[in-house]
Amino acid sequence: MEKNIRIVQASENAFIVYFTDKISPPVFHSIRHFCQAIQAQQSDNLTHLIPSYNNVLINFSKPASNTLKTIDYLHNLADDCLNNSSSLNLDITATTHRLPAYYHPQVGTDIERVLEQCKIASLEQLIALHSEKKYTVYAVGFCPGFAYLAEVDKKIRIPRHPTPRLNVAAGSIGIAEEQTAVYPLPTPGGWHIIGNCPQSLIPNEKSLTHLWQIGDEVIFEPINRKMYDKLSAKI
């Protein structure tokens, strides 16, 4: 695996570890091992640990007493996880989430555009290409409960809209390049909308607790209009 680890000091007690400049499942697998390893080794000295596609933000509870020593420690740990993750014997578990998905122009405002630009013959083919993949939660951000899922089938990858919409309905299922996502709340957004998920992704709205953990897996299960209406009524 290509070595391209960089450490950037973000503040006196925060560092960003960049594993590579690329996004790939093996790199993300190594990042998960890195997070579990540093949690085990630095549990008394961590306030935040935020992984993403190819990097991790580590926020220690107190400033580093020796910056060069801290950078060296992080670099060695990242290198070990990047190149020897299979030998670390860490317990990595993932939850699989099955989300109902209603694919229809009534809720998928960009379906026709996606069919045309991606040269997809029918809505049925689009549904199959999107729902027959198992996606990984690579990051959670933008707004509470917004999980970045990858990777979308190459046949339906489409760039974001040049100008984002001011309001995208909660539950909207979108595609942007190699990623897909469900909008958990009504927010602005520039992704191409192909359907709607009639399930709350933020079970506890008071604390904004969401479903996802980094590394979880997501499967979209197509439903018909009758089931969509039934599930929507429960939200």
CA distance 197 to 220: 9
Kindly report, as residue ranges, where domains of CATH 3.30.1360.40 are found in the chain: 6-87
Q: Which residues contact 158 (CB under 8 A, 6 or more apart)?
A: 113, 114, 117, 118, 175, 176, 177, 192
Mean pLDDT, range 23-31, rounded to an integer = 79
Residue 180: in which H helix or E strand, if any? strand 179-182
CA distance 19 to 168: 33
Q: For 96-232, which CATH class? A: mainly beta
Q: What is the pLDDT of residues 125-142, one digit of tens each?
A: 999 999 999 999 988 877
Residue 229: in which H helix or E strand, if any? helix 225-232
Q: What is the pLDDT of residues 77-127, one digit of tens each?
A: 998 888 775 555 555 567 899 999 999 999 999 999 999 999 999 999 999
Phi and psi angles of residue 19, each rounded to the nearest 5 degrees, phi first: -80, -50
Enumerate the H helices of 42-142 as residue ranges: 67-84, 111-117, 123-131
Residues making up the chain, counted from first to last = 235
Q: What is the pLDDT of residues 50-77, one digit of tens each?
A: 888 788 989 999 888 889 999 999 999 9
Kindly report, as residue ranges, where domains of CATH 2.40.100.10 are found in the chain: 96-232
Q: Please give the CATH architecture assigned to the domain spanning 6-87.
A: 2-Layer Sandwich (3.30)
pLDDT for res 229: 96
Residue with tokens 């939850």: 95
